[in-house]
Amino acid sequence: MSAGATAVVAAGAAASSAQATALIYAYLVMTPQQFVNAVNQAERKPVIVVEVEKDEGIINKRKAYIYALSLGGLMAVTKTSQPLPLPSNVKVIKAEKIILPHPCLTYLNRVENQK
C-alpha cells in the first residue's frame, strides 16, 4: 500500500473512531423527581452526580441547576430551578459547565417548563 493510501485509511479510521466516541451515551431526560428516584436506586455506591448552577434569562435573571448521572452507559439528566434534595451518600461534583447535545438541551427546557 502506498503512503498516500495508508494516510487515507488512517484518516478514515480516525473519523470512524471519533464518530463512535460521539455515540457512546444515550441521554435520558428526566423530571427532577424521576432523577432523584434514579439516584436513590443506583446500585453503585458512592453515587456521583454532576451539578451545574447557571444564570438564565436576559431580563428576568434566574438560577437553573442541571444534574447528570451515569447509569450503566446511559446519561440521566434533569434541569430545575432549585437545588435537588439528594441523599447523603451522593457525591456531588460542582462543575462550571456541562456540554450536552442541542436536542437534549431543548428537551430539558421543555420538561422544565411543563412543571
Q: Where are the domains of the chain?
A: 25-113
pLDDT on residue 16 = 46
Helix H or strand E segment including 5: helix 3-22
Q: Which grid coordinates are listed for 7?
A: 494516510
Q: Beta-carbon neighbour count of residue 48 at 10 Å?
A: 13
CATH architecture of 25-113: 2-Layer Sandwich (3.30)
Q: How many CB atoms lie within 10 A of CB 52?
A: 17
Residues 6, 54 contacting (CB under 8 angstroms) = no
Distances from the Cα of 87 to the Cα of 34, 45, 67, 75, 90, angstroms: 14, 12, 14, 19, 6
pLDDT number for residue 3: 46
Nearest to 67 by CA among 76, 58, 59: 76
Q: What is the mean pLDDT of the chain?
A: 76
| Cα distance from N-terminal residue to C-terminal residue, the chain | 61
pLDDT at 88 over 70: yes
